[in-house]
Amino acid sequence: MYPDISYLLHDLFGTQPDNWTSIFKTFGLLLASALLAAGWVLKKELIRLEEEGKISAIKQKVKSSNTQMSDVLTNGLIAFFFGFKIPYVINNFDDFQSDSSSVIFSFKGNWLIGLLLGATVAVYLYIESRKNPDGPNVKEVMLSPHEKTSDIVILAGLSGVIGAKLFSVFENLPALAKDPMGIIFSGSGLNVLGGVILASIVVIWYIRKLQINPWYVMDIGGMGILVGYAVGRLGCQLSGDGDWGIVAAGIPDFWFLPDWMWSYDFPNNVAQSGGLVEGCSQEAYNNAYEPRISEEDRCFTACGIRYCHQLKEAVYTTSVFETIFWFGGFLMLWMVRKKIQIAGILFFLYMIYNGIMRFLIEEIRVNDKSSFLGIEMSQAQKISTLFVVGGILGILWLINRDKKNRVNQEIVQ
């Protein structure tokens, strides 16, 4: 597995793993690629809807480049953050290589440089803002909706990560009680459904502010989520983040893909689960244990690498299955998108497909289950059930509303 790029380069070129390229985490890179893929779908579809006349340009007020007090504070805080973190990262690069997210989101840093840099930028911008005491000029311009693609993708990405983390925290309340800072600021343990839910809420709010019909964007969003999910799940598979299935049965006769795509034991997994990989000293690993020593450091002591674990038995590669299913779902919606005339139905079809596929995947995934309506289900299966029911009800409601609108139009004519 490739917890970071250094392990991929090791397999390709034989370079030493855990070098400086380890700051580029595999899951993070695939997550960024997922956002780019979803953004591509969004932009293509917004342009198509503009050309078909279904959505039109919007008026937006644009300020001149004069600096405002909000800009002073925002840029001052950004400068403080970089001044606070960069010197610390340089002086503690090994820690940053090992777990960059915990370093970035911790309170560790150089307060003096951070405060000096932040204050310098803030003072400079404040002086600039005083050059025009009358304030900035404001004018109205017409913007095509597709020009807002970057804003929508960034909002969806940020809110998606926050939602995924929040749902994951709620799923692990006992662990949160033991190590709240570690759980909250860990880069692992993300609930994708939670990310989808919060991102959908935030994006709809933003779209309404832009005076764009939310149903069109929701239709596009359903396709964007599917293709983004398909790409993002590759990150789970390649990094070995623990999002795998139960111990796998034998490979069936119908399986024509490589064996590792059915079941795998995830060597060098980023979740640090299982036993030690071949070539490690179990004795050195055991002797290196101390509460203050990280798992990566124990691995380095015993094996010479920071990710030294491998599952004892091959498990279902559920991330591969999801990539196949979700990309297939995207292709199906993409092919019928021009044939469906009622805005919103495409999104509810996504909800039904997503709910069914996720419910099935959860049957072979490692998860905790509890009783729901007399049936043992995981939290994801409960949400998936609501997705399916909501999707069906949504389609029926849209069809009924469309019929009523047509009847009213005929009466008026």
Under DSSP, the state recorded for 296 is: H
Domain match, 331 and 251 both: yes
Residue range(s) defining the domain that contains residue 331: 5-64+138-274+311-412
Domain match, 114 and 237 both: no
Structure confidence at residue 187 (pLDDT): 47
Structure confidence at residue 223 (pLDDT): 95
User: Phi, psi at residue 115, to the nearest 5°?
Assistant: -65, -40
Domain match, 399 and 327 both: yes
Q: How far is CA 248 from the centre of its chain?
A: 27
Domain match, 365 and 219 both: yes
Structure confidence at residue 35 (pLDDT): 87
272 Cβ contact partners less than 8 Å away, ≥ 6 residues apart: 295, 296, 299, 307, 308, 309
The whole-angstrom separation of Cα 321 and Cα 200 is 24
Domain match, 212 and 328 both: yes
Structure confidence at residue 186 (pLDDT): 52
Tell me the CA distances in angstroms from 401 to 343, 393, 396, 405, 406, one per residue in order: 11, 12, 9, 6, 9
Model pTM score: 0.79
Under DSSP, the state recorded for 146 is: G
Domain match, 36 and 117 both: no
Domain match, 248 and 361 both: yes
The whole-angstrom separation of Cα 349 and Cα 222 is 8
Domain match, 243 and 335 both: yes
Domain match, 238 and 316 both: yes
Look at residue 295 and tell me if it is in a domain.
no
The whole-angstrom separation of Cα 16 and Cα 27 is 20
Domain match, 204 and 77 both: no
Look at residue 290 and tell me if it is in a domain.
no
Look at residue 304 and tell me if it is in a domain.
no
CA-only gyration radius of the chain, Å: 25
Structure confidence at residue 298 (pLDDT): 92
Q: Which of 9, 25, 27, 31 is nearest to 242 (CA)?
A: 27
Angle made by CA atoms 268, 18, 288, in degrees to the nearest 5: 70
Structure confidence at residue 323 (pLDDT): 96
Look at residue 280 and tell me if it is in a domain.
no
How many domains, the chain?
A: 2
Look at residue 305 and tell me if it is in a domain.
no
Residue with tokens 């840099």: 117
Angle made by CA atoms 26, 32, 36, in degrees to the nearest 5: 140
Look at residue 301 and tell me if it is in a domain.
no
Structure confidence at residue 133 (pLDDT): 57
Domain match, 132 and 74 both: yes
Look at residue 159 and tell me if it is in a domain.
yes
Look at residue 356 and tell me if it is in a domain.
yes
Q: pLDDT under 50 in the chain at which residues?
A: 183, 187-189
Domain match, 125 and 206 both: no
